[in-house]
Structure 1
């Protein structure tokens, strides 16, 4: 009889050989961003989001050379550094013609976000603060810090088909 430990190790090894099913698209939303106002084609809807500048505080210890026979000393310097400048980005959103803004679409979105563990409130079909916060959490983890559901995000969630314009 083969020990259970060997069977488990073999099963894990075989499971590692099974390719994972990738999500639609590459799972990131940043690639769908435009940095200038687009000229929308018929049937396209766009949203602009202003991403604020991002700063960080840097604190450094600086050695002050000795002068006049005194020993060297250390002083602390603190300054601000810009990590990312303020910018405006544009991205496609689901148009009202495809159901955006309807209670059915919002309920479907809430269920999709709930299934991914970012929405814990009841499914109501109402675009409320909890829903917007969940959208932001889910999209920010994929490179788009916005509470407006992007078309690419809706495609990745599987709530609109990839064929919508």
Structure 2
């Protein structure tokens, strides 16, 4: 009896259509924003964290002594690892249409090749990183400041008047 009921349940579950693959649209939004924190004093603004790795210089020196050549390798930290926080569009803003707008803005600036497909992929993230390096942000998460420079995020009135 149990086997018959289990077989019937298994057969019926095969008839239920699989849900549509929406991960193409959900995952880009999550990967586009990385670790995100909402500032409770400004709930419409989220903040992202990024870490810049330490820069290490390796110097190999050779010197000759009575026994032949001696090689010595020395490493030193040129720049420390740095954690940065910056304002970024919140996850609900990262729709396929917004991602396509970001892509079109980057394509126009010749920072990436088309098409603008609305998917946050490696080429889009790389282009975002290149674009916002001028702002001192070495991240593939779009900052609010970079979004404003791209013409995708509206300046508030006080900000516009100050410019």
Short-chain TM bin: 0.5 to 0.7
Distance in 2, matches of 1:128 and 1:38, equals 24
SS for the counterpart of 1:113 is helix
Q: TM-score, normalised by structure 2?
A: 0.61
Which of 111, 129, 147 is equivalent to 2:122?
A: 129
Aligned to 1:101: 94
Aligned residue pairs, count: 120
Task: Return 5+ residue gaps in structure 1 as ranges.
Answer: 1-36, 65-69
Structure-2 change in CA distance of 1:80 and 1:40 (3 Å): farther
DSSP-derived class of the 1:77 partner: strand
Task: Give yes or no for the alignment of 1:41 onto 2:41.
Answer: yes
User: 82, 85, 88: which one pairs with 1:87?
Assistant: 82
Q: 1:1-165 to 2 correspondence within 5 Å? A: 40-42=40-42, 43-60=44-61, 76-96=71-91, 100-140=93-133, 142-163=135-156
Q: How far is the alpha carbon of 1:40 from its aligned partner?
A: 4.7
The structure, 1 or 2, with the larger RCO (C-alpha pairs under 8 Å, 6+ apart) is 1
Structure with more helix by fraction: 2
Instruction: Tell me how far apart the structure 1 counterparts of residues 38 and 121 of structure 2 sit (CA, whole Å).
Output: 28
Cα distance in 1 between the residues matched to 2:97 and 2:38: 29
CA RMSD of aligned residues (A): 2.9
Q: Secondary structure at the match of 1:158?
A: coil
- What is the deviation of 1:113? 0.4
Q: How far 1:49 moved relative to its partner?
A: 0.8
Which whole-Å CA distance do the structure 2 matches of 1:141 and 1:61 have between them?
A: 39
- Cα distance in 2, alignment partners of residues 108 and 38 from structure 1: 23
TM-score, normalisation: structure 1: 0.60
Return the offset for 1:38. 9.3
Q: Please give the alpha-carbon distance, in whole angstroms, between the structure 2 residues aligned to 1:109 and 1:142.
A: 17
Deviation at 1:79, TM superposition (A): 0.6
| Distance in 1, Cα, partners of 2:63 & 2:151 | 53
